Amino acid sequence: MQGVLKKVRCMWPGCSRVINEDNHARHVDETHLRKVRDVCTDCGRAFQRMYMKKNHI
C-alpha cells in the first residue's frame, strides 16, 4: 500500500515517542545522541538541522 508510513516506538530507554519508521534514525541522532550537523561561524551555536541555522542567521 503506497503512501502509508509504518509507525514505530522509539526503543531508547525512557523514550515513548512513536514516529515514522523512516525518521527513526534521525530521531535517535538528534534527540538522544544530540548529533550536530552545522555550527554558526559567528557565534558557535550548534544546529541539528540546516533550516534551524538558516533561521538563526
Q: How confident is the model at residue 52 (pLDDT cuts 50, 70, 90)?
A: confident
Encode pLDDT of 9-41 as tens digits: 999 999 999 999 999 999 999 899 988 888 999
Each domain of the chain, given as residue ranges in start order, spans 7-56
What was the pLDDT predicted at 56?
87
Phi, psi (5° rounding) for residue 7? -95, 140
Query: What radius of gyration do the chain's Cα atoms show?
Result: 15
**Stated pTM of the model:** 0.66
CATH architecture of 7-56: 2-Layer Sandwich (3.30)
